[in-house]
Structure 1
Amino acid sequence: MLAITNTAAEAIRTLTTDAELPDGGGLRISAPDPEQGLELSLAGRPDNEDVVLSGDGVSVFLEPVVAQVLDDKVLDVQPVAGPDGGQELRFAIGVQDRPEA
């Protein structure tokens, strides 16, 4: 299952609050054109077939195919250089750490 870091959860909470989404709203991850990557958007509710991850006051909605692709991944937020030379925060997908045997 997709893991969500505390930093990503805080970013999602901020985005959904700022957008004044209804209770139950969250971040939706879809793949309208899988060759172009994933698309993140805010949604007031999940689509009927979405896999819903919720906890820590945030919800993430995943298209079924996206849920499969991200099953062993982690959603995080990382700083990147912005066009003005400053730093921006962006969502990033990484590989989950494997527990040592």
Structure 2
Amino acid sequence: MKQRVVRRQKLVCDACYAAEEIDHLSYDMIGKRCPHCDTVMLTAEDYRIYYRLEWRFKLREWFWRLKAALGFKVEHGLISRSVITEGELVFEARRKGLL
């Protein structure tokens, strides 16, 4: 049975930690204000870091698909969590299991 990929994203305020679930982070959300404390939840710098991280994941996925198509053994099951706060990226990854 194939595992289902779950991608949950939350936009979290750096000041009061109020969280808002979102479907996908987009360029239009830059400058979005927190409903509780009225500070900016997503800056242009945070979005730039997120966008670069997303492209790295897409390139890695394409590379895995190419390896599988060529007949190489490909291990799946990488679980990751990334947090971007005030221009800093914290990335955690593990091969199977929970974070």
Shorter-chain TM-score tier: under 0.3
Q: Which has the higher contact order (CA 8 A, sep 6+)?
A: 1
Bigger radius of gyration:
2
What TM-score does the superposition give when structure 1 sets the normalisation length? 0.27
What TM-score does the superposition give when structure 2 sets the normalisation length? 0.27
Q: Which has the higher helix share?
A: 2
